[in-house]
C-alpha cells in the first residue's frame, strides 16, 4: 500500500475540508477520529466511506483495519504529517474515517413508544453536546434531537465527545423547537424543561412517565418562549453550596433520574416482606 505523504494532495484537501460545516453539509459526510468512534462507525453498515491510518495506528489497532477491509472500506496509509493535517486534536491517534451522515427525520427519531428523549435547544458547545449524546445513550434514551439553534452534531469535537454514541441511537437535527414539542407530544411524551427557574425539583416530580427532557444554552439556559412550551420546568436540586451544575452534568442527572424511575415502574422490585409466610 502506497503511503500518502503530500499534505497538499487533492485527496488530503478533500478530506480536510470536512472539518468545515459548509462542506460537511454539501458532501453529507463528516470525520470520525480515534479508535472508539471508528469501531462504532464500522459496526453501522454503510456508514464508513474510507479509513485513513498511520503505520503505527495500523499496528496498534489491527482489528479496526481488518474490520474496514472486511466491510469493503478502502484503507489509506498516511504519514504522520498528513494525519496531523486531517485531524483536529493536539495529539492525533492515527486514525480518521470519512463517514456518511447518520441523522434521521424527526418523526423517525421521536416515535410512539419512546420513553426517554433528550432535546438540545440552543446548546452551542460541541463538547457539551457530544457528552449529552453519550449520556443519553448510556441512560438508554430512545433518541436525541438537536434543534435548529444548536451546534452541528457532526462537529469534530462533538463527534469525539460522543465516543461512538452518535452511531448508537437515532439522532435528529435542525428541527424547530415547536415542531419538536409537537412531535414529542404526538408520540406520547411529556415535555420537561431542565432549568434553574423550575418551581419543582427532580425529587418532587413523577419521573416514571415517558419524557422528553429539554436542555438549553450553557450560559443563559432556555429562553422564556421555549419554557412556555414545556409541560413543566424542573430544576436539579442543589444540596451543597455550589451555585449550579454545568449543562452536561445536569443533563446526566436528569436523564438517569428518569431512566431509573422508568425502569423501576416497569420492573418493580418485590418487597421481601410480602414473600414471608
31-60 pLDDT, tens digit each: 999 999 999 999 999 999 999 999 999 999
What are phi and psi for residue 166, nearest 5 degrees?
A: -55, -25
Tell me which fold the domain 106-266 belongs to. Answer: Alpha/beta knot (3.40.1280)
pLDDT band of residue 275 (cuts 50, 70, 90) is very low
What is the average pLDDT across 146-168? 95
Cβ-contact 3, 54 below 8 angstroms: no
Least confident piece of the model among 170-179, 199-208, 265-274: 265-274
- 215 DSSP assignment: E
pTM, entire model: 0.91
pLDDT band of residue 271 (cuts 50, 70, 90) is very low
pLDDT band of residue 273 (cuts 50, 70, 90) is very low
Angstrom distance (rounded) from CA 166 to CA 159? 7
Determine if residue 99 is left, alpha or beta; phi over 0 gives left, psi from -120 to 50 gives alpha, anything else beta: beta
Q: What is the pLDDT of residue 270?
A: 52
Beta strand pairing call for 48-54 and 95-100: antiparallel
Q: What is the pLDDT of residue 1?
A: 64
pLDDT band of residue 243 (cuts 50, 70, 90) is confident
Sign of the torsion formed by the C-alpha atoms of 110, 116, 178 and 190: positive
The yes-or-no verdict on residue 269 having pLDDT over 70 is no
Residue 193: strand pairing partners? 214, 233
Q: What percent of the chain has pLDDT over 70?
A: 96
Angstrom distance (rounded) from CA 254 to CA 69? 41
Least confident piece of the model among 95-99, 230-234, 241-245, 250-254: 241-245
Summarised one tens digit per residue, pLDDT across range 3-23 is 899 999 999 999 999 999 999
pLDDT band of residue 141 (cuts 50, 70, 90) is very high
Q: Is 209 helix (H, G, I), strand (E, B) or coil?
A: coil
Residue partners of 263: CB distance under 8 A and separation at least 6: none
Cell numbers representing residue 123 in the block: 446548546
Cβ-contact 208, 116 below 8 angstroms: no
The yes-or-no verdict on residue 204 having pLDDT over 90 is yes
Q: What is the pLDDT of residue 218?
A: 82
Angstrom distance (rounded) from CA 84 to CA 75? 17
Helix, strand, coil percentages, rounded to 5, for the chain: 40, 20, 40
In the chain, where the domains are located: 10-100, 106-266
Indicate the Cα dihedral angle 237, 193, 128, 103, nearest 10°: 150
Angstrom distance (rounded) from CA 32 to CA 266? 36
Summarised one tens digit per residue, pLDDT across range 82-113 is 999 999 888 889 999 999 999 999 999 999 99
Domain covering 10-100 assigned CATH 3.40.47.10 in the classification: no
Q: What is the pLDDT of residue 267?
A: 72
What are phi and psi for residue 268, nearest 5 degrees?
A: -60, 140
**Mean pLDDT score of the chain, rounded to an integer?**
92
Amino acid at each position: 500500500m502506497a503511503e500518502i505523504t503530500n499534505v497538499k494532495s487533492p485527496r488530503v484537501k478533500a478530506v480536510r475540508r470536512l472539518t468545515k460545516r459548509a462542506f460537511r453539509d454539501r458532501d453529507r459526510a463528516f470525520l470520525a477520529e480515534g479508535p472508539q468512534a471508528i469501531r462504532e462507525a464500522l459496526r453501522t453498515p454503510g456508514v464508513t466511506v474510507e479509513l485513513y491510518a498511520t503505520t503505527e495506528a495500523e499496528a496498534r489497532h489491527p482489528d479496526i483495519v481488518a474490520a474496514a477491509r472486511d466491510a469493503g472500506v478502502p484503507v489509506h496509509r498516511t504519514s504522520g504529517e498528513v494525519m496531523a493535517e486531517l485531524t483536529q486534536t493536539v495529539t492525533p491517534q492515527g486514525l480518521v474515517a470519512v463517514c456518511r451522515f447518520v441523522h434521521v427525520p424527526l418523526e423517525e427519531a421521536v416515535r410512539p413508544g419512546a420513553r426517554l428523549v433528550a432535546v438540545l435547544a440552543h446548546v452551542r458547545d460541541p463538547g457539551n453536546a457530544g457528552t449529552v449524546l453519550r449520556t443519553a445513550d448510556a441512560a438508554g434514551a430512545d433518541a436525541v434531537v438537536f434543534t435548529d439553534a444548536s451546534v452541528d452534531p457532526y462537529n469534530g469535537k462533538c463527534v469525539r465527545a460522543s465516543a461512538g454514541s452518535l452511531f448508537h441511537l437515532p439522532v435528529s437535527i435542525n428541527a424547530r423547537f415547536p415542531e419538536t414539542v409537537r412531535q414529542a407530544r404526538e408520540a406520547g411524551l411529556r415535555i420537561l424543561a431542565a432549568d434553574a427557574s423550575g418551581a419543582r425539583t427532580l425529587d418532587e416530580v413523577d419521573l416514571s412517565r415517558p419524557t422528553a427532557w429539554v436542555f438549553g444554552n450553557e450560559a443563559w439556559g432556555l429562553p422564556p418562549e421555549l419554557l412556555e412550551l414545556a409541560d413543566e420546568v424542573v430544576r436539579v436540586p442543589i444540596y451543597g453550596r455550589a451555585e449550579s451544575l454545568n449543562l452536561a452534568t445536569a443533563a446526566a442527572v436528569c436523564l438517569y433520574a428518569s431512566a431509573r424511575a422508568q425502569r423501576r415502574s416497569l420492573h418493580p422490585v418485590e418487597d421481601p416482606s410480602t414473600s414471608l409466610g
